[in-house]
């Protein structure tokens, strides 16, 4: 039997002495999978660019990447609360890997098309819709309260690192060994993720009443658990609005470089690298802080919105000969951008009962996931109408105002003064714990 200590998880359950080794095993496999997934994803984008040269095709690929996850994450949360979360994650990772393997063989034998590639993109998005809520709902059961924010930020840190190096790695394989080699690598990355999960013992909490309800009743219960805290709902709504506002910038950054600063592809890559480094720096700062005394995470989110808004608006006021200033502002902007996701997820994990965490996180993920395509569509039209520099000013001012008002409601400020939810660790009549070995 695993030897335990007095140390408890964020959910109030006893932790084994080797809890950190369990986390390292899980996230080691996930890190390998992230790198190979980013490499494969970029290879798909490059293939579409190289063969079609169509912005419409690239836009369609982006929609296929975002939309399924946004629409299906609530149902992924239902599955996470009704079934063994470890099994859900393994099935999701393995499903994505098998599709990559099959598509790799199809490409190897000369059968490749835009439709086949979109199948891969859609399956990956669907898999993440089920994997994400299960993974996030499992973390409070595996990590001490004081380290929960750090582990939630680790996901973002790994994605930032992967987003910088993996695309170059994917293109190297694409150009030297062929497109199929990147997809075969993605399959082995999925196997690494499955192995990390299979080797770890992950407790799961199942809501027994969920089996007696239809899926929409399950979603309603998840919403009730989430909306029981008014401040949490306001915070999620604020971040969702912020993401709608900020999402277009990802697509407009290169246009700002080319159009306003008369730059080339090299200059555009410098901006992207600066943003990635800023995200890494912000994640490291957040992990070092770890939530601070009292863990005033709602206030941090509001501060981040103010910083993002101020730096974005400032970018729009730069003259065409101030490209260096643009790079610096983008770096600062990225640091603050890394302070949204981890604190918000941590607050949801702390304040929602453990047997309903999957559904609450699924709904939260859906709100933020759907914000991106909506924002890209609306922001693209606005940028086209007013010009890219003016769009940065307007976009930044909206974020700035949002940050200034987000922390005003008493219910939001109360999130920073409430103790960690002890209900997470208490036995609920609707839930029971199972061990997955």
Sign of the C-alpha dihedral, residues 5, 9, 15, 21?
Answer: negative
> How many angstroms separate the CA atoms of 12 and 5, rounded?
13
**Beta carbons of 249 and 312 less than 8 angstroms apart:** yes
**Beta strands 431-436 and 202-207, pairing class:** antiparallel
Which contacts of 391-395 are long-range, i.e. CB under 8 A and separated by 24 or more positions? 391/248, 391/252, 391/316, 392/249, 392/252, 392/256, 392/312, 392/313, 392/315, 392/316, 393/313, 393/316, 393/317, 394/316, 395/245, 395/246, 395/248, 395/249, 395/312, 395/313
Backbone phi and psi for residue 38, each to the nearest 5 degrees, phi listed first: -65, -40
DSSP 228-257: TSHHHHHHHHHHHHHHHHHHHHHHHHHHII
Residue among 360, 127, 90 at smallest CA distance from 202: 90
pLDDT at 427: 38
pLDDT tens digits along 226-259: 888 999 999 999 999 988 888 777 767 777 887 7
pLDDT at 292: 53
DSSP 197-213: HHHS-EEEEEEGGGGGS
Backbone phi and psi for residue 262, each to the nearest 5 degrees, phi listed first: 55, 45
pLDDT at 407: 93
Name residue, tokens 């902007």: 333
Q: Tell me, what DSSP letter sits at residue 259? A: I
Alpha helices in 256-340 (DSSP H): 265-289, 297-316, 323-337
pLDDT at 6: 67
Residues forming beta bridges with residue 205, ordered by sequence position: 433
**Beta carbons of 37 and 121 less than 8 angstroms apart:** no
> How many angstroms separate the CA atoms of 66 and 371, rounded?
9
The answer to pTM > 0.85 is: no
pLDDT at 55: 59
pLDDT at 191: 96
Q: Tell me, what DSSP letter sits at residue 424? A: G
Which residue ranges in the chain fall short of pLDDT 50?
1-5, 421-431, 433, 435-437
């Amino acid at each position: 039997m695993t030897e335990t200590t007095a140390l408890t998880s964020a959910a109030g359950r006893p932790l084994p002495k080797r809890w950190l080794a369990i986390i390292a095993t899980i996230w080691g496999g996930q890190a390998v999978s992230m790198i190979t997934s980013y490499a494969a994803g970029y290879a798909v984008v490059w293939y579409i660019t190289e063969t079609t040269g169509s912005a419409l095709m690239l836009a369609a690929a982006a929609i296929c990447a975002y939309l399924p996850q946004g629409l299906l994450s609530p149902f992924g949360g239902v599955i996470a609360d009704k079934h063994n979360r470890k099994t859900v994650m393994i099935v999701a990772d393995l499903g994505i890997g098998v599709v990559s393997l099959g598509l790799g063989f199809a490409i190897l034998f000369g059968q490749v098309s835009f439709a086949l590639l979109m199948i891969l993109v859609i399956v990956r998005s669907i898999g993440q819709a089920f994997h994400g809520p299960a993974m996030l709902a499992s973390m409070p059961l595996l990590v001490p309260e004081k380290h929960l924010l750090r582990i939630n930020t680790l996901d973002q840190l790994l994605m930032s690192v992967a987003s910088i190096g993996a695309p170059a790695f994917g293109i190297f394989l694409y150009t030297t060994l062929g497109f199929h080699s990147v997809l075969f690598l993605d399959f082995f990355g999925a196997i690494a993720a499955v192995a990390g999960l299979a080797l770890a013992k992950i407790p799961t909490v199942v809501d027994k009443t969920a089996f007696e309800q239809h899926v929409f009743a399950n979603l309603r219960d998840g919403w009730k658990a989430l909306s029981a805290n008014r401040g949490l709902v306001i915070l999620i709504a604020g971040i969702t609005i912020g993401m709608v506002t900020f999402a277009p910038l990802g697509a407009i950054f290169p246009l700002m470089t080319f159009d306003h600063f008369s730059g080339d592809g090299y200059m555009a890559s410098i901006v992207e690298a600066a943003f990635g480094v800023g995200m890494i720096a912000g994640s490291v700062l957040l992990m070092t802080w770890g939530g601070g005394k009292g863990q005033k995470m709602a206030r941090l989110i509001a501060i981040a919105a103010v910083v993002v808004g101020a730096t974005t608006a400032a970018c729009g006021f730069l003259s065409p000969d101030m490209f260096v200033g643009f790079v610096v502002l983008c770096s600062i902007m990225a640091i603050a951008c890394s302070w949204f996701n981890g604190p918000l997820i941590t607050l949801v994990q702390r304040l929602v009962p453990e047997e309903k965490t999957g559904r609450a996180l699924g709904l939260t993920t859906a709100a933020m996931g759907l914000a991106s395509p909506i924002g890209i569509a609306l922001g693209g039209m606005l940028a086209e109408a007013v010009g890219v520099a003016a769009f940065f000013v307007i976009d930044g001012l909206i974020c700035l105002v949002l940050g200034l008002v987000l922390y005003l409601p008493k219910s939001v400020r109360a999130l920073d003064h409430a103790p960690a939810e002890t209900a997470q660790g208490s036995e609920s009549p609707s839930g029971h714990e199972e061990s997955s070995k």
